[in-house]
């Protein structure tokens, strides 16, 4: 078997942009994907007359042509922007806590401050000051971390040095009194999989900044359209892809990558591998505990596996308007205590906070005319699902789905009577399709103590690179960007310059 300059393992977001970057840069590249379609989470599947989006609810960091965000620049660099259509949303989200709160925040800084002030007038001054802080803090973070200002100091960037290691809860408590106001501001906690108590203020500020400044987007025809565009560009530039073909082993010679062995038993020589798989599987299984550097285990020790989700993919026989759904992104909380809600992700008794997203609101063509597709996402850890015997799995899945639908119906009455198709995924489904421990699609939990701001990941094996959620944190923007930057690093390793 003749070799490749580089082999990319996994065609999730990070693997796709790494492969596209390598092929564009002239590297002879092979992409191995265990599944039969590209995308990992960024994919879709069909049931009845619906094509369901698996993962994407709100794309961050896009911006438009006149004000491009960092993700738009990544996709522009890979020549796929003209192959995919991005649809912007006018609002960040509607947050409802039945009987107590119903608020919609526009994707606009002043609009968000106004909406919050209207609902919480006594705290109007502090609301404005908080959003000013988010912007000022985030600008300082960009100068220190991304622009690497060599003169960075606490005098020059006081907000960054004061709050970089603070929790979101610290700042919510410093600025606000009303728990419902704190909930309204921090509703995006689910996008990091950590509640305000554990979520760094840096991460919350980044989410708020990215979605307000560059607006939330989704992709016409779903994230599969972007995955397809990336794979097409990769093959047009000479890349080779094999589906239904997992990697089983990465071989090393003198501490450097020398080959990949596939699950079909084929040994393919290469001096460069980009892995788009979980860190534990990469080191424990593909490289092997004996060969893996101990620094990597030191880095992993104390880290915890992030959440997965329980998701209902629903095709409705009516339009969103008939259901009273006016926003693409609707968070519904059973209560306002998100720290407690987080502890509920480890049991399957009652859903604490769900996301109801309906693409048809911003893109009426997201399903056949007169219908709509809806995803209801409830973050969940794998553990409670593992304790269910296989004989009771289906029963438990439908029992819990009924509880989730009860919560949906508290905001959208009559919802159930319009269901035409329904498919349910649990954390076990994500383990099966992604191959990640815990079915964790954000990678490790991003606790403040594990922040890349203080602990940049180490990579001691020559020729081995890592892209995606386990390397750079979860979400479309970070994983797509991490693949592109990892691809550039791999090209440099190969002595090639990116084009
Ligand atoms: C229900 C849900 C909702 C989400 N909502 C959002 C959202 O609204 N906004 C947002 O930004 N993010 C969202 N995310 C998160 C986001 O989708 C993920 O963080 C991101 O797509 C992960 O990308 P990745 O590069 O880590 O690759 P992954 O998607 O994890 O893909 C890894 C790939 O590697 C393949 N693979 C594994 N092992 C092997 C092997 N041995 N050999 C070959 N191939 C292998 C797998 O088959 C898979 O294709 C959501 C995710 C889910 C599941």
**Any idea which residue has 């006594």 for tokens?**
122
Same domain for 382 and 314: yes
Q: What is the mean pLDDT of residues 188-212?
A: 96
Q: What is the mean pLDDT of residues 469-479?
A: 96
Same domain for 468 and 424: no
Beta-carbon contacts of 298 under 8 Å, excluding residues fewer than 6 positions away, are: none
- Give the number of the atom of ligand 1 that is nearest the alpha carbon of residue 285: 41
Does position 95 have pLDDT exceeding 90, yes or no? Answer: yes
**pLDDT tens figures, 230-243:** 999 999 999 999 99
Same domain for 403 and 370: yes
Residue nearest to atom 51 of ligand 1 (CA): 55
Does position 195 have pLDDT exceeding 60, yes or no? Answer: yes
Does position 419 have pLDDT exceeding 60, yes or no? Answer: yes
Same domain for 165 and 79: no
pLDDT reported for residue 450: 83
- Give the number of the atom of ligand 1 that is nearest the alpha carbon of residue 309: 1
- Does some domain include residue 389? yes
**pLDDT tens figures, 280-320:** 999 999 999 999 999 889 888 889 999 999 999 999 999 99
Q: What is the mean pLDDT of residues 145-157?
A: 92
Give the confidence band of 146 by pLDDT, cuts at 50, 70, 90. Answer: confident
Report the alpha-carbon distance of residue 151 to residue 392 in Å, rounded: 60
Does position 1 have pLDDT exceeding 60, yes or no? Answer: no
- Does some domain include residue 60? no
Element (DSSP H or E) covering residue 375 = strand 372-380
pLDDT reported for residue 498: 64
**Which of 45, 55, 435, 436 to mutate for ligand 1's pocket (most ligand atoms within 8 Å of CB)?**
55
Q: What is the mean pLDDT of residues 120-145?
A: 96
Does position 412 have pLDDT exceeding 90, yes or no? Answer: yes
Same domain for 480 and 397: no
Query: Which domain covers residue 207, as residue numbers?
Result: 107-213
> Is 280 near ligand 1, meaning CB less than 6 Å away?
no
Report the alpha-carbon distance of residue 206 to residue 69 in Å, rounded: 13
pLDDT reported for residue 448: 87
> Is 311 near ligand 1, meaning CB less than 6 Å away?
yes
- Does some domain include residue 276? yes
Does position 451 have pLDDT exceeding 90, yes or no? Answer: no
- Does some domain include residue 59? no
pLDDT reported for residue 99: 96
Ligand 1 centroid from CA 74, angstroms: 18
CA 219 to chain centroid: 15
pLDDT reported for residue 242: 98
| Final residue of a structural domain among 187, 213, 239 | 213
pLDDT reported for residue 301: 87
CATH classification at residue 298: 3.50.50.60
Beta-carbon contacts of 147 under 8 Å, excluding residues fewer than 6 positions away, are: none
Same domain for 327 and 426: yes
Report the alpha-carbon distance of residue 250 to residue 270 in Å, rounded: 10
**pLDDT tens figures, 368-404:** 999 999 999 999 999 999 999 999 999 999 999 999 9
Same domain for 259 and 298: yes
Same domain for 283 and 202: no
- Does some domain include residue 55? no
Same domain for 427 and 312: yes
- Does some domain include residue 53? no
Q: What is the mean pLDDT of residues 414-435?
A: 98
> Is 482 near ligand 1, meaning CB less than 6 Å away?
no
Does position 456 have pLDDT exceeding 80, yes or no? Answer: no
**pLDDT tens figures, 393-402:** 999 999 999 9
pLDDT reported for residue 104: 98
What is the greatest pairwise CA distance in the chain? 71
> Is 195 near ligand 1, meaning CB less than 6 Å away?
no
- Provide the 10 A C-beta neighbour count for residue 1: 8
| Final residue of a structural domain among 386, 405, 434 | 434
**pLDDT tens figures, 38-66:** 999 999 999 999 999 999 999 999 999 99
Same domain for 188 and 118: yes
- Does some domain include residue 64? no
In total, how many domains does the chain have? 3
Joined tokens for residue 273: 């591998």
**pLDDT tens figures, 69-84:** 999 999 999 999 999 9
Contact 239/23 with Cβ under 8 angstroms? yes
SS3 state at 41: coil
**Which of 41, 262, 443, 483 to mutate for ligand 1's pocket (most ligand atoms within 8 Å of CB)?**
41
**Arithmetic mean of pLDDT over the chain:** 96
| Final residue of a structural domain among 213, 241, 263 | 213
92-101, 131-140, 289-298, 462-471: range with lowest mean pLDDT: 289-298
pTM of the model: 0.97
- Give the number of the atom of ligand 1 that is nearest the alpha carbon of residue 246: 42
Contact 42/55 with Cβ under 8 angstroms? yes
- Does some domain include residue 65? no
Share of the chain above pLDDT 70, in %: 99
Write the Ramachandran bin of 473: left for phi over 0, alpha for psi from -120 to 50, otherwise beta: left
Same domain for 118 and 16: no
> Is 14 near ligand 1, meaning CB less than 6 Å away?
yes
**Which of 7, 8, 12 to mutate for ligand 1's pocket (most ligand atoms within 8 Å of CB)?**
12
């Amino acid at each position: 078997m003749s070799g490749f300059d580089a082999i990319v393992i996994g065609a999730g977001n990070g693997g796709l942009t790494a492969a596209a970057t390598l092929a564009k840069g002239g590297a002879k590249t092979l992409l191995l994907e265990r599944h039969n379609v590209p995308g990992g989470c960024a994919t879709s599947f069909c049931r009845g007359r619906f094509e369901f989006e698996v993962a994407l609810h709100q794309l961050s960091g896009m911006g438009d042509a006149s004000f491009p965000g960092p993700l738009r620049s990544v996709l522009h660099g890979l020549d796929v922007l003209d192959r995919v259509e991005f649809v912007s949303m006018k609002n960040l989200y509607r947050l409802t806590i039945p009987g107590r709160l119903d608020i919609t925040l526009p994707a606009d800084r002043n609009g968000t401050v106004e909406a919050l002030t209207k609902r919480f007038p006594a705290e109007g001054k502090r609301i404005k000051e908080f959003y000013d802080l988010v912007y000022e803090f985030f600008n300082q973070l960009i100068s220190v971390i991304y622009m690497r200002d060599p003169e960075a100091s606490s005098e020059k960037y006081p907000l960054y040095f004061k709050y970089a290691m603070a929790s979101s809860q610290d700042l919510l408590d410093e600025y606000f009194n009303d728990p419902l106001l704190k909930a309204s501001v921090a509703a995006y906690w689910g996008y990091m999989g950590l509640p305000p108590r554990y979520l760094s203020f840096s991460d919350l500020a980044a989410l708020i900044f990215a979605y307000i400044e560059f607006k939330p987007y989704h992709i016409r025809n779903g994230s599969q359209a972007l995955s397809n565009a990336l794979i097409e560009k990769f093959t047009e530039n000479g890349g080779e892809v094999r589906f239904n073909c997992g990697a089983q082993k990465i071989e090393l010679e003198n501490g450097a990558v020398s080959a990949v062995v596939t699950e079909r038993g084929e040994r393919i020589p290469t001096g460069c591998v980009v892995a788009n798989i979980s860190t534990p599987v990469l080191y424990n299984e593909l490289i092997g505990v004996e060969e893996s550097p101990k620094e990597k285990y030191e880095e992993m020790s104390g880290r915890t596996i992030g959440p997965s989700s329980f998701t209902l993919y629903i095709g409705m026989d009516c339009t969103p308007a008939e259901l009273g759904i006016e926003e693409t992104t609707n968070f519904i909380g059973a209560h306002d205590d998100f720290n407690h809600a987080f502890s509920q992700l480890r049991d399957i008794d009652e859903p604490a906070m769900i996301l109801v997203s309906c693409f048809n609101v911003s893109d009426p063509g997201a399903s056949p005319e007169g219908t709509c597709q809806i995803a209801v996402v409830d973050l969940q850890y794998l553990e409670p699902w593992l304790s269910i015997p296989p004989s009771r799995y289906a029963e438990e899945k439908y029992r819990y789905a009924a509880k989730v639908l009860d919560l949906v119906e508290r905001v959208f009455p009559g919802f159930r009577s319009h269901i035409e198709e329904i498919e349910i995924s649990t954390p076990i489904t994500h383990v099966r399709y992604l191959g990640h421990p815990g079915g964790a699609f954000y990678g490790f939990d991003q606790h403040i103590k594990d922040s890349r701001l203080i602990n940049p990941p180490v990579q001691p094996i020559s020729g081995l690179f890592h892209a995606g959620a386990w390397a750079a944190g979860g979400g479309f923007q970070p994983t797509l960007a991490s693949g592109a930057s990892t691809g550039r690093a791999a090209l440099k390793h190969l002595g090639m310059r990116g084009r």
